[in-house]
Amino acid sequence: MTSLSGDKFLELAARKSIMTAIVMVLFGAILFVIQDSGIKWLTAELAVLQIIFVRSLFGMVFLYSGTKILGGKMDLKVHQPWLLLFRTSVNVVSWCLFFTGLKYLELATATALFFSFPLFLTALSVPILKEQVGLRRWTAIIVGFIGVVLMTKPGGGFQWPMLLMLSAAFGWALVALATRKLGEQQSAQSILFYTLLGFASTMWIPQIWLWQPMDSDALLLIALVALFGVTAQFLITKAYTLANPSITSPFEYTGLVWAALFGFVIWNDIPDWISIAGGLLIVSSGIFIIYREYRLSAED
């Protein structure tokens, strides 16, 4: 009887962790879209690397202040230095690719292409995590990549920033896998701190050539972008440590709805029917993958 109660308790705790992670991802998704909208607006006048650099400085201040305000402690001890270095490096490259592509693409198109990362995540879980991916999930991955092909319009509408977005999505899948492993010993705050430090330490050198004076409005917008971005990163990073990324990451698809709305309101972007069809295929495949992951975990 005691063993049964213990099993039941563990099951309820696991479900609570999953639900908490999902709520974090949902909030993180809309905050990321707000951040992306602000950065896309800023790239009309400022270099992407300058925006990322200043955003990272603001981000470290907000992260430290927020941790202190909430009564937490910034534990900066590194338990897996090489894995943390790998995650930070890939994250820096991925975000640079993402924000550069975002400058040239419609917000909804950029977001939809980036949301191909759960497809990469599931495919990469086979060689990296040695997971077994069945025929149904492989089919979902194929369907999702058909959606990617539709969105990139290889018949004549392909744009090189789309390749940047897909590369960023691949990198983010690696980041998600590394975060899950790091989260076993490293706090979400420390993972995020070293990510921001990685951005700041690698972005300062290009400022010698790229730096442009910024007015108070630009600084305020970057500060707000940093606040929303750091909060979103913390929520997503924490979610990845609470539950398997293959379960939580597809809920970031809700950001596609917000991206379409923000793109229409701010830039009057209206995607064509091919882009909409491709986006729906990507989202549908991701939802199916999460459904299969849930069913398989429930059967274990």
**Domain ranges for the chain:** 16-299
Amino acid at residue number 289:
I
The pTM (predicted TM-score) of the whole model is 0.80
Token duo for residue 293: 């992951």
- Distance, CA of 251 to CA of 287 (rounded, Å): 8
Is 47 within 8 Å of 271 (Cβ atoms)?
no
Sign of CA dihedral 135, 175, 159, 38: positive
Alpha helices in the chain (DSSP H): 2-42, 48-69, 81-104, 107-114, 117-129, 135-152, 160-182, 188-203, 207-210, 216-242, 245-248, 254-267, 273-299
The two three-digit tokens of residue 249, written as one number: 């990451």
Distance CA 211, CA 213 (A): 7
How many CA atoms does the CB half-sphere of 147 hold within 13 Å?
25
**Distances, alpha carbon 126 to alpha carbons 90, 129, 295, in Å:** 19, 6, 18
Phi/psi at 44 (5° precision): -70, -20
pLDDT in tens, the chain (300 residues): 444 456 665 666 677 788 888 889 989 999 999 999 999 999 999 999 999 999 999 999 998 888 888 777 777 888 888 999 999 999 999 999 999 999 999 898 888 888 888 788 878 877 877 777 777 878 888 888 888 878 776 555 567 889 999 999 999 899 988 887 887 788 878 888 888 899 999 999 999 999 999 999 999 999 999 999 889 988 887 887 787 766 776 677 788 888 888 999 999 988 778 878 888 888 788 778 767 766 666 665
